[in-house]
Chains A and B, each alone.
Chain A
């Protein structure tokens, strides 16, 4: 406990001193899971105005408020028709155990929404339990095969992810068991570091051709998503549209990962809030808004976050870390196992170790048993239901009969930073920093 009167170094708080001394001892960067722990401007810095004299609300419990969304109708013959605009983000089998993937599929399916594979191919359990399954095409191409491509409901070409734009996947040896190794055509127990660039295309011109190939193989049926980590979001979105995407997935820096360098998680990429505005700008300037759908992810936790993302122009959101938490990630259970990892509930980011105390991010059969796929699926369903109810509550309060009718004019910002990033006025003013109305 801190003694009264002691003054901590602002530049060198205890956590920084600990990290310097860990680095001095071990000589290697810190690898960890989940997303950024630093505070960044986020959806909490925005509030809705609600209805007032100039607009009327809808009855909170009675009047309909539509939540369905169609994704991928630009070119695909069979776009996805989801009941709610909240999807489950890509997380690999390998990073997560088979039970966790199964639970995600069950929860998502029961709510009429999609889940997504990851850097390890498609498992039978996941395909079986997922009504709508998005199949990722990643630089590693682990487990990629045309049969699974045809079994998928949509294809997501992963260019980057919010936790590490410019970095490839990482799965440490302790999680590469026989099944994971087999699916990835790798030796068991190695530290698997995936490629960060695709092996057979480099820029957007090439990607356009790659997408053509994917469409030829799948009879032009499947929606093609392009996922980018939030960085140069205006240009990345414009180039994704140019490359022929049906859907752009934009993952902000708060987005999670199973394992990467802490320095990557905390210092590369931009917050979801700023990235979203830039992506919407690009779509509008290209006259592609609502024609190419935008899914945003990275730090979505509540129905309020979902509503604010939609108001800013997203067509849907995607959740990864929060979905894991619905399956008990960081729950106050099995405390001794958290202690063995040198952490405690609420602070755990040890997905990379494979020693997940609650059986979500592990390949250890004993730990995996701690997650029952049916129970996990039910928990995810409850969580998605709650998000949807919160989303509808806010939409009705703003007078919207469809959640996608939420608009930037419904929002104001509580901080100057958030006002500038989201380009909505600072609360109680007409001031949007850095923005001038065109003549």
Chain B
């Protein structure tokens, strides 16, 4: 089924996609002329497949559950923010805060992601085929941020238990973020993610970063770390 955002209201399209008739067998949808609209495909909650042909604004596929959303274009701030499950594929570049606070699912960005990619992530897997901007994985709690390109400064600042994998260069690490051994468990974890997403890449090409856990409890001796 096709929707044209130049002819139909965003709210009507979102409402339709959020309330799929389970009796119907239609599971694939296309949205044409997104023209940078915000909150396209926000709040989807069913196992459906949506392709958006063009660029989107803020919060595309926000709080997604179960759905697979593909954007044939660039996305604005907060793509797949607070995603719970499902998959979001961005064929272009992503603006700030991609995958912010996401609890689950997979976000795959073919291009670059701007600053604060994966901020406060809580279990999501974010794969960026290009590079990420500064302060990515800031306060990241859980999940995996996998970067094929480079990472700008202060990567993983104040990170909790999330894992960061970088194939390229890291300009600088943020407070309490350190390089860790690329152990067997992490290699297998990446293999599993790549397999699920049909990505052919050798996990051994990545370096792993995570929390030194020195700032988990406030000690005055660490005040200068911030």
Contacts and interface: CB of A to CB of B under 8 A. Distances in A.
Interface of A: 26-28, 140-141, 144-146, 149, 173, 185-187, 189-191, 193, 195, 199-201, 206, 209-210, 212-213, 216-220
Given A195-B139, A213-B62, A144 B101 contact: yes
B120 A141 contact: yes
B42 A216 contact: yes
Given A146-B45, A201-B77, A219 B63 contact: no
Interface of B: 10-11, 14-15, 18, 38-39, 42-43, 45, 57-59, 62-63, 65, 77-78, 81-82, 84, 96-97, 100-101, 103, 116, 119-120, 122-123, 138-139, 141-142, 160-161, 216-218, 220
B119 A218 contact: no
B120 A213 contact: no
A185 B142 contact: yes
Given A146-B45, A187-B216, A199-B138, 19 more contacts: A141-B82, A144-B82, A145-B103, A173-B216, A185-B122, A185-B123, A190-B216, A199-B81, A199-B97, A199-B116, A200-B97, A200-B100, A201-B77, A201-B78, A210-B58, A213-B58, A217-B42, A217-B43, A219-B15
Contacts of B57: 209
Contact of B161 (A27, A187, A209): A187
Contacts of B97: 199-200
Contacts of A212: 38-39
B interface, over-half SS = loop
Task: Identify which of A190, A201, A216, A220 gathers the most chain B CB atoms within 10 Å of its CB.
Answer: A216
B23 to A, nearest CB: 21
A187 to B, nearest CB: 6
A141 B116 CA distance: 15
A22 to B, nearest CB: 13
18 contacts: A141-B120, A145-B63, A146-B63, A185-B142, A189-B217, A191-B217, A195-B120, A199-B120, A200-B78, A206-B77, A209-B39, A209-B58, A210-B59, A213-B42, A216-B43, A217-B62, A219-B18, A220-B11
A217 B123 CA distance: 21
Contacts of A218: 43
Given A145-B82, A199-B101, A213 B59 contact: yes
B45 A200 contact: no
A200 B99 CA distance: 9
B160 A187 contact: yes
Nearest to A149: B63
Contacts of B141: 185-186
A86 B25 CA distance: 49
B160 A200 contact: no
Contacts of B58: 200, 206, 209-210, 213
Given A191-B216, A212-B38, A141 B101 contact: yes
A217 B18 CA distance: 8
A190 B161 CA distance: 12
Given A187-B160, A200-B77, A173 B63 contact: no
B46 to A, nearest CB: 12
Contacts of B84: 145-146
Given A187-B161, A213-B39, A28 B116 contact: no
A186 B120 CA distance: 11
Contacts of B218: 28, 191, 193
A216 B11 contact: yes
Nearest to B221: A27
A168 to B, nearest CB: 10
Contacts of A27: 220
